[in-house]
A and B are shown apart, each in its own frame.
Chain A
Amino acid sequence: MAKKMFQVVIAAVLLAMPTGLFAQEELVPQTTIGLGDVGQGSLLFKTDTPGRYVAAPVQSTEVEIAVRGMVVEATVRQRFSNPGDEWLEGVYVFPLPQKAAVHAMRLEIGERVIEGQIKEREEARKVYEHAKEEGRKASLVEQERANVFTTSVANIGPGEEVAVRISYQQVLEYDSGRFELRFPMVVGPRYIPGSPIPTEATTGTGWAFDTDQVEDASRVTPPVFHPDRGAVNPVRLEVSLDAGMPLERLHCPSHAAQIKKTAHGVHRILLNGVPADRDFVLEWTPARGSEPRAAVFTEELDGSFYVLAMLMPPDDRFTESVRLPREVIFVVDTSGSMGGTSIIQARDALMLALDQLAPEDYFNIIEFDSNFTKLYRTSVPAMPAAISDAKQWVAGLRADGGTEMMGPLLAALEDIKEHTPLRQVVFITDGCVANEDALFQAIHQELGRSRLFTIGIGSAPNSHFMERAASFGRGDFTHIGDPSEVSLRMGDFFAKLENPVLADIELQWPDPDAETWPEQVPDLYAGQPVVVTARLGTLHGELVATGVRASESWEARTVLSIGASRAGVNRLWARRKIASIMDQRAHGVPEDEVRPQVVEVALAHNLVSKYTSLVAVDITPTRPVDEEVRAGAVPTHLPAGWKYEKVFGSLPKGGTASRLYLLMALVAVALGVFVRQLRSLL
């Protein structure tokens, strides 16, 4: 009994410490918004000799993006230099746009250039490892996720610099009359289910301090703000934009980029030496009246024609349509990663959405972090009293905890009472989850008549997840990157929710054997174009798209032969084919069946995929066999199956000011004694 009392007393003393002391400790793993770069920032590797360190490869990136019409061609040049005096291996994990078709890699050693070969992943890895052992320079580009890649470079000599140039193509996003080019520079930290990593805001001060820093980081111009990190993987990015139409507006919401207009209506956008801490976003709007109605790009290759076609359905936002009552379930992410400006954006978006509801609608709100809470047990009519009650609840939402998305997802999709003809689930999140495949499968299986919409929040959301989730949910994805954009983006979003969907879209090609990807064009919401790729035997004829909107049929057509000839349309086609095959996994097709199909397409069109990699090997060995590759030991800890899930914002802190206090105590006492001595002398 006495023993127990003793424990309780000690514990009470421990926990009753003034918070001022805790405040000094600052040990909470921070939340990270837009920060948290993977695979970079490794400064030193310890050697076997105590006290001796080897500098890690220094890495910088140059990006050149050329936009012509709807097609984006980009090269990413990653330079690795070795500041130390030992041989090094560089391993760099980086993001690319999720629909990027990565088709070329070149290893540049001084004047020499070695073209990468596409190979099956394991084979490519073997070729690379073999070259590494033999002391030859080699580089390897592997895909870890649809939007996460790894570059490895072996045998960088002392003081040497080696560059890897990666090329990819992509189709531009066009939605609600606005083109968007996005280049991700940072892999946002993600959470394994049940991992409240950057959360536990309980210590208060440490947490708030960090959040302040991050908030600043996203507001202040980066080169000024990161004096200690400015040198870590700086990015130089240049865009040459040939929009092919007069523009009403062109701006870069993510960075203070220089924008210059050159002759012939080409714009140059330049970003110099910024740290890789957020997505680069460039947006432009065609001048009124010059919005594209149709666009066709073609390529002839090996006797086949590849086509990329965009068709804009007539905008009938102005036509009278009956607004159908709907049941809307809002699901809002209040996990730790949403801390800072993200939760504010989420709350604002939710408030605006609540205002859009009509009294005949039903609604409910679910908030989730490690657990989820429903505002109402079941959906309630959107009466003014319920709305104001809900708003109060929303205003009190705070961000902390893990990102356990499966529970709230299933709860939101549970269609208990068919109150209304339409049922819409709106997910407001940064998508920082790792169990993407399981979630996609759940959406696919449990969707029923519901439609799932995602609203992406923050400066570097997991766009791949948001977009695919909305695609499996037969809804749409809206991205809000900045607090000032909330009302604008939500306006586009409501237009999608309110306007009748364009369904049952069918395509007729002049060649009946045309192979179209995606096989089935998804339902389209207001402002969205039909974008398809196909391989066919002839270009003589028309592409006809038909569909039904609010029980009225609709048709759009374009002549194919007028299309602009563009190299690489085959890759865009193949990339979409691969994406469609990969999606079959969510429909329960085992990986063993998916894999050979993907490999076949990827090898034929020279594309990097989950199962194929690009590898380049120098012919002559440069490293003497008796010298070791220093960092060789470290990359073995970068696993073959890189678990992107395990990536957290930053490592936990582990230091207190205890020594500072003791030092101050020592100094103060010494001074005190000294002054005392002085006094007795006087």
Chain B
Amino acid sequence: MISHRLLSVLSALLLATGAVQGVRGGWIHAKARLAQVLLHRSWERTQAGGVEEKPWPWADTWPVARLILPGGREHIVLAGATGRNLAFAPGHLDGSSEPGGDGTCVIAGHRDTHFAHLDSLAKGQAVVLEDAAGRRRIYRVVATVIVDERGTWVITDNDRPTLVLITCWPLDSPLPGGTQRYVVWAEAEDR
């Protein structure tokens, strides 16, 4: 009888834990998706108005680019690759070249949300980056590499405009905080 009751409690506890963890995990994904909805609106306003439109009134960041990956997946990119921003959208690394600039533009994203399929990018595929003025530039993937987090040479300037996409590696690892990064290089097409 006691064991029956104990099992009831245990089962309830486990189900509750499952629910909590499910919400926690689902929340990260929901946040990533919901934010993109808001960001798309603020992006349209940014492009229409030519000013940095904040996606929500108290945000300390703003959309700086639209990233279009093969297969039509697209993401609005926020200014600053900070932890808070990456929860909502891929982030543009401060100090790297501006989207549409001549240097190396670095965009980081989460491997389990926005950049979950980064490894499907193959050499030669096109990645499009649209800046706030609506100018689009086509980049071709030239290489992918796995580096240690300290391998910062991957984001140095190249002699051509370059787009570098970064996410955590391994892509399917359930644990956060690894020391390896998956990096995609794409060079601007000749115009």
Contact = CB atoms under 8 A, between A and B. Distances in A.
A384 interface: no
A206 B145 CA distance: 26
Interface string B56-71: 1111100000000000
Interface size class of A (residues with CB under 8 A): 35 or more
Nearest to B96: A646
Contacts of A15: 56, 58
Given A37-B150, A648-B95, A640 B159 contact: yes
Contacts of B48: none
B26 A202 contact: no
B37 to A, nearest CB: 8
A675 B152 contact: no
A65 B83 CA distance: 44
A25 B113 CA distance: 12
B94 A197 contact: yes
A617 B14 CA distance: 68
B28 A650 contact: no
A43 B148 contact: yes
A494 interface: no
Interface stretch (A110-118, A288-296, A305-313, A661-669): A661-669
Contacts of A634: 143, 145
Interface string B96-128: 100000011000111111010000001100000
B86 interface: yes
Interface stretch (A133-141, A188-196, A250-258, A386-394): A188-196
Interface string A621-653: 000000000000110011111110011111111
B145 A46 contact: yes
B38 A7 contact: yes
A648 B158 CA distance: 16
B47 interface: no
Given A14-B34, A27-B110, A646-B104, A639 B159 contact: yes
Interface stretch (A16-24, A175-183, A420-428, A555-563): A16-24
A189 B25 contact: no
A615 B177 CA distance: 41
B15 A647 contact: no
Contacts of A200: 80, 82-84
Contacts of A323: none
B38 A10 contact: yes
A202 B14 contact: no
B19 to A, nearest CB: 7
Interface string B38-59: 1001000000000000011111
A192 B17 CA distance: 46
Contacts of B115: 654
A350 interface: no
The B contact surface, by secondary structure, is mixed
Contacts of B111: 654-655
A669 B20 CA distance: 10
A646 B150 contact: no
B175 A7 contact: no
Nearest to B148: A41
Contact of A669 (B18, B28, B179): B18
Interface string B1-30: 001100110111111011111101111110
Nearest to B61: A200
Nearest to A668: B18
Contact of A39 (B12, B149, B153, B176): B153
Interface string A18-44: 000110111111001001111111111
B81 A652 contact: yes
B64 to A, nearest CB: 14
Contacts of A26: 83, 176-177
A652 B166 contact: yes
Nearest to B166: A651
A321 interface: no
Contacts, number: 294
Contacts of A473: none
A637 B59 CA distance: 35
Given A43-B147, A659-B174, A661-B21, A7 B41 contact: yes
B177 A679 contact: no
B3 A682 contact: yes
Given A648-B155, A656-B87, A669 B93 contact: no
Nearest to B28: A658
Given A648-B95, A651-B181, A45 B145 contact: yes
A672 interface: yes
Contact of A202 (B25, B31, B82, B158): B82
Of listed A14, A24, A671, residue having the most chain B CB within 10 A: A14
A25 B17 contact: no
A102 B125 CA distance: 43
A662 B159 contact: no
B174 A21 contact: no
Interface string A517-547: 0000000000000000000000000000000
Contacts of A40: 148, 150-151
B132 interface: no
Interface string A470-493: 000000000000000000000000
B134 interface: no
B150 to A, nearest CB: 5
Contacts of B11: 672-673, 675-676, 679
A55 B172 CA distance: 21
A666 B18 contact: yes
B59 to A, nearest CB: 8
Contacts of B10: 675
Contacts of B4: 679, 682
B23 to A, nearest CB: 8
Nearest to A36: B150
A302 interface: no
A570 to B, nearest CB: 35
Nearest to A675: B11
Contact of B185 (A35, A637, A648): A637
Nearest to A200: B82
A672 B14 contact: yes
Contact of A656 (B35, B60, B110): B110
A642 B154 CA distance: 11
Interface string B75-94: 00000111110111001011
A654 B14 contact: no
A48 interface: yes
A488 B174 CA distance: 49
A224 interface: no
A44 B18 contact: no
Contacts of B112: 655-656, 658-659
Interface of B: 3-4, 7-8, 10-15, 17-22, 24-29, 31, 34-35, 37-38, 41, 55-60, 80-84, 86-88, 91, 93-96, 103-104, 108-113, 115, 122-123, 142-159, 162, 166-168, 172-181, 183, 185
16 contacts: A10-B34, A26-B177, A191-B95, A196-B80, A200-B82, A633-B143, A649-B150, A651-B154, A654-B108, A655-B112, A656-B87, A657-B174, A659-B173, A662-B26, A669-B14, A672-B15
Given A194-B95, A656-B176, 10 more contacts: A10-B37, A11-B38, A15-B56, A25-B176, A642-B156, A647-B153, A653-B176, A654-B181, A656-B112, A657-B176
8 tightest Cβ-Cβ pairs between the two chains A and B: A195-B95, A661-B25, A41-B148, A11-B56, A672-B14, A655-B168, A668-B18, A665-B22
